[in-house]
Amino acid sequence: MSKDLRESEAASLDNEVLSLLGRHVSVRKFRPDPVSEEQLEAIIQAAQMASTSSNVQAYSVIAVTDPALKSELAALAGNQAYVAECPVFLVWCADLYRLREAAKPHLGGAATYEDSAENFIIATVDTALAAQNAAVAAESLGLGIVYIGGLRNKIAEVAERLGLPELVYPLFGMCLGYPDQSPALRPRLPLPAVLHRDRYDAGETVRQVKAYDATMSEYLRKRTGGAKDTPWSAIMADRLAEPIRLHMKDFLQGKGFLRR
Amino acid sequence: MSKDLRESEAASLDNEVLSLLGRHVSVRKFRPDPVSEEQLEAIIQAAQMASTSSNVQAYSVIAVTDPALKSELAALAGNQAYVAECPVFLVWCADLYRLREAAKPHLGGAATYEDSAENFIIATVDTALAAQNAAVAAESLGLGIVYIGGLRNKIAEVAERLGLPELVYPLFGMCLGYPDQSPALRPRLPLPAVLHRDRYDAGETVRQVKAYDATMSEYLRKRTGGAKDTPWSAIMADRLAEPIRLHMKDFLQGKGFLRR
């Protein structure tokens, strides 16, 4: 099969990459089969090729394979069993520590701005872009993934356990392994809810929620054999009313982020 | 060509997706050829399939094709000509506005937490994951992209010009179009600088910078015909010493983010 997809399929909207992206589902049950070292390295190398702001590459990823450590992290993430069960658990960290240490010898005591909201955003975005490339790469290899935001539940404990220095914070985890389930695709918001033309259309984005509420009620009804059909907007209301992870700002400022 | 890459190439580390991810370069010169509506929709639909925290889908994207508006945004982004020249300029926005408006009818006045650092992170990450899927999708169609962080230079003006309501902020732009240049791949940090095992290795990540400094000096020397060879760590030092975008925290808090 030709590797040069750019030339061979440029004109078509029906290519393998779009098809792969369109099939994404989060996987929460994994076969015990290992992920090879070669696979892991190919996935992280693909992650590294993602865009990065001014080439700062402000992220690190910790591949956790030690079973005891995976179990601890599973507990800290809110008892999500798949964190312990997946063969490799990746902890994606926004990382300005390496940057500051690398810069130090050149600075001669000049003031620096690692602690700005801007640099926090840069590190967070760099990490997310790399992680999403990793997700796509993993799925291209037949592996499944799920992002674990629950890693921020007890973020100080996670950071301590993984030895994260100042200016490094765990943004999310990612389970990696061969899927032992085939979840149904989850419908997304209608395209006009997220895609605006030349100007933000506040009325349209909110109007589109009605159609999505119906879609998601139907999806839930099917998945639960009729037991649940809560509309999306009601689920979102519960979510917004939940005081989750209010420790984040203090934690981040303690790590040297977001101080100005 | 089979669409089921997952089955046909699962065992191989040499597949079209890894190859595409590994070829990524930022494109800053575009042919005038248009991006079709079908291409744009396929790209945004691929973006929508990225993972999203608890299905909040906390992002919007504004496709800017109006030439006058593109020129204005190019100027606001620091006179980056390619923002005006690309046929479609995407403005990726973290968006908690739609979520709050959708939730409102269900809340009966209950307290909500859109203004927490946690929800800021969720919206920012959701946006970045979707954008990276869009980047990969675009490249699979033979298009080129470049992220435009410069959109945060004059972020208040950009937000005003695009009509962004409270709880929406422009995270970055993305030029989209057919490449009119073939930039060389930019080398990334050595794998051991970013990939840690079971625990963050502060010594190793900093040690790896030395090797990368040499790599990047060589890369610059080649690209500039010997005129430049500044090591990466020195460039990073200049960057950290630059007081860029110190308005971000105030701007974000003014938009309703990061207040606690």
Pairing status of strand A59-64 against strand B195-197: parallel
- What pLDDT does B14 receive? 87
Q: Tell me which residue has tokens 């309501």.
A: B165
Sorted by sequence, the CB contacts under 8 Å of residue B66 that are 6+ apart come out as A198
Q: What is the mean pLDDT of residues A195-214?
A: 97
Q: Residues of B with CB below 8 A from A100's CB?
A: 240
Q: Is the pLDDT of residue A8 over 50?
A: no
Q: Tell me which residue has tokens 């973006």.
A: B47
- Topology classification of domain A15-185+247-254: NADH Oxidase (3.40.109)
What angle (nearest 5°) sits at the alpha carbon of residue B189, between those of residues A259 and A96?
5
From chain B residues 215-254, the ones with a CB under 8 A of any chain A CB are 232-246, 248-249, 252
- What pLDDT does A109 receive? 87
- What pLDDT does A1 receive? 37
Q: Tell me which residue has tokens 């993993």.
A: A138
Give the closest residue to B256 by CA, choosing from B86, B115, B148, B120.
Answer: B115
- What pLDDT does B12 receive? 80
Q: Is the pLDDT of residue B218 over 70?
A: yes
Report the sign of the C-alpha dihedral through residues B73, B44, B49, A231, in that order: positive
Between A28 and A3, the more confident residue is A28
Q: Tell me the pLDDT tens digit for each residue of B36-51.
A: 999 999 999 999 999 9
| CA–CA separation, B3 and B187 (whole Å) | 31
- State how far residue A34 is from chain B, nearest Cα, in angstroms: 13
* Residue of A57, A61, A62 with shortest CB distance to B188: A57
What angle (nearest 5°) sits at the alpha carbon of residue B188, between those of residues A66 and A106?
100
* Residue of B124, B232, B248 with shortest CB distance to A118: B248
Look at chain A and count its residues.
260
- State what percent of residues in chain A have pLDDT above 90: 94
Name the pLDDT band for B221 (thresholds 50, 70, 90). very high
The reply to whether residue B46 touches residue A22, judged by beta carbons under 8 angstroms, is yes
* Partner residues linked to B196 by β-bridges: A62
Q: Quick one: tokens of B205?
A: 């990540």
Q: Is the pLDDT of residue A4 over 80?
A: no
Q: What is the mean pLDDT of residues B88-92?
A: 99
- State how far residue B150 is from chain A, nearest Cα, in angstroms: 10
Q: What is the mean pLDDT of residues B131-140?
A: 98
Q: Write down the ipTM of this complex.
A: 0.96
The reply to whether residue B98 touches residue A209, judged by beta carbons under 8 angstroms, is yes
DSSP annotation of B54 reads G
* Partner residues linked to B170 by β-bridges: B93
- What pLDDT does A36 receive? 97
- What pLDDT does A12 receive? 80
- State how far residue B37 is from chain A, nearest Cα, in angstroms: 11
- What pLDDT does A11 receive? 57
* Partner residues linked to B179 by β-bridges: B30
Q: Is the pLDDT of residue B175 over 80?
A: yes
User: Please, what's the b/e burial string for B89-111 (b: 16 or more CB within 10 A of its CB; e: otherwise)?
Assistant: bbbbbbbbbbbbbbbbebbeeee
Give the closest residue to B94 by CA, choosing from B175, B15, B177, B165.
Answer: B165
From chain B residues 166-185, the ones with a CB under 8 A of any chain A CB are 168, 171-172
Q: How many CA within 13 A on the CB side of residue B114?
A: 25
Residue spans of the domains in chain A: they are 15-185+247-254, 191-223
- What pLDDT does B126 receive? 98
Q: Is the pLDDT of residue A2 over 60?
A: no
User: What is residue A198's three-state secondary structure?
Assistant: coil
Q: What is the mean pLDDT of residues B151-169?
A: 98
Q: What is the mean pLDDT of residues B124-146?
A: 98
Q: What is the mean pLDDT of residues A161-165?
A: 98
Q: What is the mean pLDDT of chain B?
A: 95
A92: phi > 0 → left, psi -120 to 50 → alpha, else beta; which?
A: beta
Q: What is the mean pLDDT of residues B190-203?
A: 98
Q: How far apart are the first and last CA of chain B?
A: 52
Q: Tell me the pLDDT tens digit for each residue of A83-120.
A: 999 999 999 999 999 999 999 999 998 999 999 999 99
Name the pLDDT band for B6 (thresholds 50, 70, 90). very low
Residue of B nearest to A199 (CA): B162
Q: Could you tell me the strand order of the sheet in which B59-64 lies?
A: A195-197, B59-64, B88-95, B168-177, B144-148
Q: Is the pLDDT of residue B5 over 60?
A: no
Tell me which of A65, A140, A201, A260 to substitute to probe the interface with B (most B C-beta atoms closer than 10 Å).
Answer: A140
Q: Is the pLDDT of residue B9 over 90?
A: no
Q: Is the pLDDT of residue A6 over 70?
A: no
- What pLDDT does B8 receive? 43
**What is the homologous superfamily of the domain B13-185+243-254 according to CATH?**
NADH Oxidase (3.40.109.10)
The reply to whether residue B17 touches residue A19, judged by beta carbons under 8 angstroms, is no
